[in-house]
Structure 1
Amino acid sequence: MSWVQVSIQLLGGLAIFLYGMYVASEGLKKSSSHHLKQFLRKVTKNQWYGALAGAVLAAVLQSSTAATVMIVGFVNAGIISLRRAMGVMLGSAVGTTLTVQLIAFAITDYAIVFVILGVTLFFINSRFRSYGSVVLGFGFVFFGVGLMTEAMEPLRSSEAFVDFLLMISDYPILFVIAAAVFTAIVQNSAATIALALALTSGGPLSLESAVYIVYGANLGTVVTALISSLTTSKDAQRAALAHAIFKAIGVLVFLPFTSLFVQLLPYTGGGAERQIANAHTIFNIVNMLLLLPFCNRFANWMVKVLPDKKELPKHVKYIDQHSVQFPTVGLLQARKELENMSHRIRHRMFPYLITMIHDEKVRKMVIEEEQVIDHLYKAIYHHLQRIMEEDLNDKEAEEALKLLYFNNDMERMANIIKDMTRSIAKLDQGRKTLTKWERTKIEELYDEIVPHYDQAIKGFQENNESAAIDVIHTNPKILRLERELRYQHFYQGASSSSTVSVVFSDLMNGMLRIHQHSVNISHTLLGMI
């Protein structure tokens, strides 16, 4: 077999391996994403539980790189604190070793069986498709490993290749660097270690050199997380940097004792492939046990290394483009951003609905805030649209659709308040003013709609259906009140000015429309869309 044929088969095997990892990961995410989200929220109460959560997360995603990017996304959304993220990241490194342990089993000859079983499950019933994807993905993984191992056969008898390995074996740091770079490129440490398995299995690569590759593979996983954190919150950047330092510490601790480590590996049992897989697992377990007790102190240190800077307020706080590939994270970020939007409307627009009637400066502030809300609306809308382009499960698709409706209703509220400022401006142009009676009636309706807005937002934030039902039940009452006040205005307290009368009607109608959007939010929460 020529070098060209070897290269093609090796790259083809790697491509099939990576695709298999992707298919298996997607299937696992679909079959467990909802449960995974609930699990993470419950078990990140302390560092040890957090480490367990990280191990489960990485086992599900089949990639510590993906798991770390996901954790950074959770930190950016405020779902997990920086301190809790430390333990989760250390645990995720242990969880991802499961993949390498599976690869180390001599089951490449049965890869086709996995492919057949996966395809069968995929087409039996739509409910089994995600599980079929998992089995099919692992079939591709094992098939890819088999191709890479077969491609290595000619290299084992190649004197030039053996001499090259012997030459660079005197410089073990080269193995670490090469493995780190390769892992950073393919974004999968398991793929790097799979190549090491193929080269070591009866081949020219020594067990010690393979262990150095294990170190590099672990080090290379940090690159993607560091890149994904560049546009995120300060805490998310700290989490990504901490992950990189954790890996670096592990490599620095193990490097001086590599010869002793290699001598002890045969006692873990199995052949060379199993010993390499065990080396990968032991490295990450020792690193976790070594660093886990210092997570809180490490978090404090990260705050000093990356201190908060006084910057202009960032309107979009939680969403980032890298989370789109993980719908669970992306949807949580969108929800947090919508909570941010609802808070701004409640505290930067609602309090001025009355005072802006006679204060032009306040009206300008409200208009400026509406522009911020509009910016948030567009960011959330495009974020959710990108998520919906992913292959979502039913629950994720339903959640994304609900959030789009929430986003639209909140943006419409801000628009209504802006329209109310324009209506009030007519009074200034005509040098008119509302009477005390008219202001009192506007305040009366205002006092009714604000608590119901708060109730609707509470329902949204807490997924509280009873709160949503309460808001819906108040709608007839608000409609009656608005009609009564309008009637009183026309027949009892109407101003002699038609301009004032129109403005009064516009303001009352604006209040009513705001309340209607609170009702819409409640309907959406209940699935009435």
Structure 2
Amino acid sequence: MNIFLHTAMGMLGGLGIFLYGMYIASEGLKKSSSKHLKEFLKKVTTNQLFGAFAGVVLAAVMQSSSAATVMVVGFVNAGLMTLRQAMGVMLGTAIGTTITVQLIAFKMTDYSLLFIAIGSFLFIIGSSTKVKSIASIFLGFGFVFFGMGIITDAMAPLQTNPEFMNAFVYLSDHLILMVLASLLFTAIIQNSAATIALAMSLGASGTLQLETAIAIVYGANAGTVVTALISSINTTKDAKRTAVAHAFFKLIGVLIFLPLTEYFAVFMESIGSDIERQIANAHSIFNIVNLLILLPFCNKFADWMLKLIPEKKETIKEVKYIDPESLEVPTVALMKTKKELERMAKIIDDNMFIGIDRLLRNKDSSKHDTIIKNESKIDVLYKSIYHYLQKITKKDISDDESVESLKYLYINSDLEEIADSLQQITYTLMKLDERNIKLNDKELSGITNFYKEVRINYIEAIKGFEGEDKEMAIKMIQQSPGVLRIEKKLRYEHFHNSDSESSRLSSTYIRIINELLKINQRTVSISHTTIGLI
């Protein structure tokens, strides 16, 4: 068989096993840490050092700086993280993925089959999600190391091939070309660790000199920006700024190190035992030094990004926070779903509840169209959130995530029903306007007061949901019987004291009361869901 075909088969097959192993390990890490990841991300503060540490952890869990960076862009887009907070986190993500490269340099390829054996055994005997997640971690890293071994063996024959060696000699004299080639390859496979692992295999086989391998490290780090930039295309301005800032961070790092590559290689040789260890150390030191240089300027970078990408008035999208990329990390996808539900609840309060209030008080007919249009927005949001949650539930998620998904499905349905009822009240009031019929002062006053109580309950229920405040949710549930008493009183007074005009309006009056009662029932349901009664 042709030497190049044999090498290509070994390299591609080994790379496939490597990437598959990274995927399995990442899935296992995400499942085992999902419960803590949500709380951890909530604690990211304006302290850039803590943010950088958060980035290290996130990338270590994702096992890909590209994926971690895309996730950070998503956090900013969802409002889970500010632009300033994201700066430090971005720098930290680069360090998180150096862990895998360091493990490879420890000659873990010799123990790949042991990792696979442990992972397989745990899968067979394990019944809980936690044990299977740990099994995935062992299996994943086993495949990573096994794939790395296959790549190294496949590269060995090339060190005696003059054509291949001449090509690398040429590239060794043109490091910028090697950086660009490495950047392109990383952008295609979306995994910088895999690119560096190839460099380590080439180095171990004697094909690659250290300086050229370090150029590959530069390109692999720079290549991670492509995925983030693409993911930011249809996002908020701050998310775009985050992706662009990340690109600048990497570019600055490469520009600082590239002219010093010769001295950097000498330094790596002095502290590393073999070329694989030297390449792994170069990858780690590049990112650590980059972080130390740029971390003090993170807030300044955020200010520069605001000037570079100024704010423009954008068309408001029906769906703002949820995105397909986040589905890869169900914990994050659920956090974004919650943000979308909170936004949905705010639209209902700001544009529909308030509109009904003005219709009742001032007969502001312009509010009819506003309420109806916003109900259409709520329908779009409801469908989008429903399908998004269905996709989450099809993932291999934990029991806690499954319960959380179910909660959000309930609340999504409740909010949509509340919007429907507000629309029905609007249609009823429109009919009254068209017929030039008015409720008498007593009936109007009764409905207005009833409406106010229902809205107060709604606001408190949403606050309880947003803050995961069970005490507030319980308080709202306890207030509900008061609303029922008001409803019974209004109904009784209407039938007991009705005159001819009220009798004619009876069905309209009762219809409005019934819709307000439905809204309150759905509001109570939201509070029940908040405290876990589903």
- TM-score band w.r.t. shorter chain: over 0.9
Q: Match of 1:444?
A: 449
Question: TM-score under structure 2 normalisation?
Answer: 0.96
Query: 1:342 & 1:178 partners in 2: Cα distance?
Result: 49
Q: Match of 2:483?
A: 478
- Conservation of the 8 A alpha-carbon contact between 2:101 and 2:196: yes
- Conservation of the 8 A alpha-carbon contact between 1:76 and 1:319: no
Q: Match of 1:67?
A: 68
CA deviations over 1:286-333 (Å, ceiling 9, x no partner): 000010000111100001111111233334332223222222222111
Q: What amino acid is the match of 1:442?
A: I
| Residue 33 of structure 1, CA deviation | 1.7
Q: Match of 1:224?
A: 227
1:528 counterpart = 2:533:
yes
Question: TM-score under structure 1 normalisation?
Answer: 0.97
| Higher deviation after alignment, 494-503 or 386-395 | 494-503
- Conservation of the 8 A alpha-carbon contact between 2:229 and 2:243: yes
| Residue 384 of structure 1, CA deviation | 2.2
Query: 2:194 & 2:522 partners in 1: Cα distance?
Result: 51
- Conservation of the 8 A alpha-carbon contact between 1:469 and 1:522: yes
Q: Match of 1:37?
A: 38
Query: 1:477 & 1:120 partners in 2: Cα distance?
Result: 59
Distance 1:43 1:320, change over 3 A: closer
| Residue 92 of structure 1, CA deviation | 1.1
| Residue 12 of structure 1, CA deviation | 0.6
- Conservation of the 8 A alpha-carbon contact between 1:438 and 1:493: no
Query: 1:452 & 1:342 partners in 2: Cα distance?
Result: 13
Query: 1:476 & 1:137 partners in 2: Cα distance?
Result: 55
| Residue 177 of structure 1, CA deviation | 0.8
Query: 1:44 & 1:356 partners in 2: Cα distance?
Result: 43
CA deviations over 1:336-382 (Å, ceiling 9, x no partner): 11111111111211123243243332222211221122222222223
- Conservation of the 8 A alpha-carbon contact between 1:427 and 1:499: no
Q: Match of 1:345?
A: 348
- Conservation of the 8 A alpha-carbon contact between 2:44 and 2:85: no
- 2:437 is paired with a residue of what secondary structure? coil
Query: 2:500 & 2:326 partners in 1: Cα distance?
Result: 55
Query: 2:455 & 2:498 partners in 1: Cα distance?
Result: 24
Q: Match of 1:115?
A: 116
Q: Which of residues 164, 173, 176 is equivalent to 1:170?
A: 173
Q: Match of 1:423?
A: 428
| Residue 169 of structure 1, CA deviation | 1.8
Query: 1:382 & 1:409 partners in 2: Cα distance?
Result: 16
Query: 1:34 & 1:297 partners in 2: Cα distance?
Result: 34
- 2:173 is paired with a residue of what secondary structure? coil
- 1:362-377, aligned counterparts within 5 Å? 362-377=367-382
- Conservation of the 8 A alpha-carbon contact between 2:269 and 2:278: yes
Q: What amino acid is the match of 2:507?
A: V
1:316 counterpart = 2:319:
yes
- Conservation of the 8 A alpha-carbon contact between 2:116 and 2:143: yes
Q: What amino acid is the match of 1:462?
A: G
Q: Match of 1:383?
A: 388
CA deviations over 1:248-307 (Å, ceiling 9, x no partner): 110010000000000111222321000000000000000000100001111000011111
| Residue 499 of structure 1, CA deviation | 4.3
Query: 1:355 & 1:15 partners in 2: Cα distance?
Result: 63
- Conservation of the 8 A alpha-carbon contact between 2:155 and 2:205: no
- Conservation of the 8 A alpha-carbon contact between 1:232 and 1:320: no
Query: 1:83 & 1:431 partners in 2: Cα distance?
Result: 56
Query: 1:518 & 1:421 partners in 2: Cα distance?
Result: 19
| Higher deviation after alignment, 330-339 or 207-216 | 330-339
**Ranges in structure 2 where 5+ consecutive residues have no aligned partner:** none
Q: What amino acid is the match of 2:121?
A: T
1:134 counterpart = 2:166:
no
- 1:496 is paired with a residue of what secondary structure? helix
Query: 1:115 & 1:37 partners in 2: Cα distance?
Result: 29
Query: 1:131 & 1:499 partners in 2: Cα distance?
Result: 70
Q: Which of residues 460, 465, 481 is equivalent to 1:460?
A: 465
Query: 1:7 & 1:276 partners in 2: Cα distance?
Result: 23
| Residue 495 of structure 1, CA deviation | 4.9
- Conservation of the 8 A alpha-carbon contact between 1:494 and 1:501: no
Aligned residues: 529
Q: Which of residues 164, 185, 190 is equivalent to 2:193?
A: 190
1:432 counterpart = 2:437:
yes
Q: Which of residues 394, 400, 412 is equivalent to 1:395?
A: 400
Q: Percent identity?
A: 53
* RMSD between aligned residues: 1.5
Q: Match of 2:280?
A: 277
